[in-house]
Amino acid sequence: MDILIRQQACRIYTGGRNFDRNLPCVVLIHGAGHDHSVWNNQARHLAHQGFGVLAPDLPGHGSSQGTPLPSIDAMADWLLEMLDALGVAQASLVGHSMGSLIALAAAARATERVKALILVGSVAPMPVAPALIEAAASTPARAHAMINQWSYSPAAQLGASASPGTSLLDINLRLMERQAAGVLASDLRACNSWTEGLARAADIHCPTLLISGERDQMTPARAVKPLCAALVNAAGGARMITVAGAGHAMMAEAPDAVSDAIRGFLRT
């Protein structure tokens, strides 16, 4: 469905079903240089398990108009405006990589509106290598190759896929190539510049889950521990699980495991 936010048309996907605001709402937030499609498996799964799913293309990404927002806080504000526009009073937020920072920022500033928080492939702060930012700005093809090298496990690099006959790296490359010029560089700068994550984590009071990939090179499980420790006020204490064998792109590498983890946590 399309809605108007800040006078710009934005596209939101609902897992193949009509959005029903009376169902428990879950928002799936994509990462840098991506769009809603990274959540296709999880969106369909959750929609068929009784959730009202919202998987937006962030401004300037995918089919949403406008230019990419320059900061994590601006994207968090936009996310809350999206919920306002749809009349959603409360939602669970699930974010991957950059999307996890957006979810964290939104949950910290609107505690009464966020029922649960799930951070996938997340660390705080989230520094980005200067070489990757420079490549994204000047030679995107080189940046795409670097991201593919770092995002997938050794098995996926050799062609393993949860969907036989498909190449996860080729799919991700096409996805990044579809984004407008400058989107990836803008997103990476936003991640690199947002240093408030650990401080904001103390403001989180809802149940919180961190999902890490065992073979994640971009946000390795050991680097997640400071963020987990900072979530001292999360209801029941923040939980952390590791998806066996998966890299940073775990939604594609281990779609069933990620879907099951999200659904199971939201139903506890």
- The answer to whether residues 226 and 107 touch, using CB atoms and an 8 Å cutoff, is no
Contact (CB, 8 A) for 62 and 180:
no
Confidence class of residue 60 from pLDDT cuts 50, 70 and 90?
very high
CB-based contact 80:106 (threshold 8 Å): yes
Summarised one tens digit per residue, pLDDT across range 211-254 is 999 999 999 989 999 999 999 999 989 999 999 999 999 999 99
Q: Of 83, 102, 80, give the one whose Cα is nearest residue 29.
A: 102
DSSP category for residue 239: E
Q: Specify burial of residue 244 (Cβ count, 10 A radius: 0-12, 13-18, 19+).
A: exposed
pLDDT band at 67 (very low <50, low <70, confident <90, very high): very high
Return d(Cα 116, Cα 131) in angstroms, integer.
Answer: 35
Which helix or strand (DSSP H or E) is residue 200 part of? helix 197-201
Write the CA distances from 61 to 64, 79, 179, integer angstroms. 6, 14, 6
pLDDT at 148: 96
- The predicted model scores a pTM of 0.96
Q: pLDDT digits over 133-183, tens only?
A: 999 999 999 999 999 999 999 999 988 898 888 899 999 999 999 999 999
Q: What is the CATH number of the domain that holds 83?
A: 3.40.50.1820
CB 66 within 8 A of CB 59: yes
Q: How high is the pLDDT of residue 227?
A: 97
Structural domain tally of the chain?
Answer: 1
Q: Are 111 and 206 in contact (CB under 8 A)?
A: yes
Tell me how far apart the alpha carbons of residues 238 and 206 are, in angstroms, rounded to a whole number: 9
Q: Name the β-bridge partners of 26.
A: 53, 92
Q: What are phi and psi of 261, to 5 degrees?
A: -65, -45
Residue 56 has pLDDT above 90, yes or no: yes
Distance CA 91, CA 52 (A): 9
CB 228 within 8 A of CB 237: no
Question: In terms of residue numbers, what domain contains 8?
Answer: 2-266
Query: Helix (H, G, I), strand (E, B), or coil: what is residue 76?
Result: helix
Indicate the pLDDT class of residue 207, thresholds 50, 70 and 90: very high
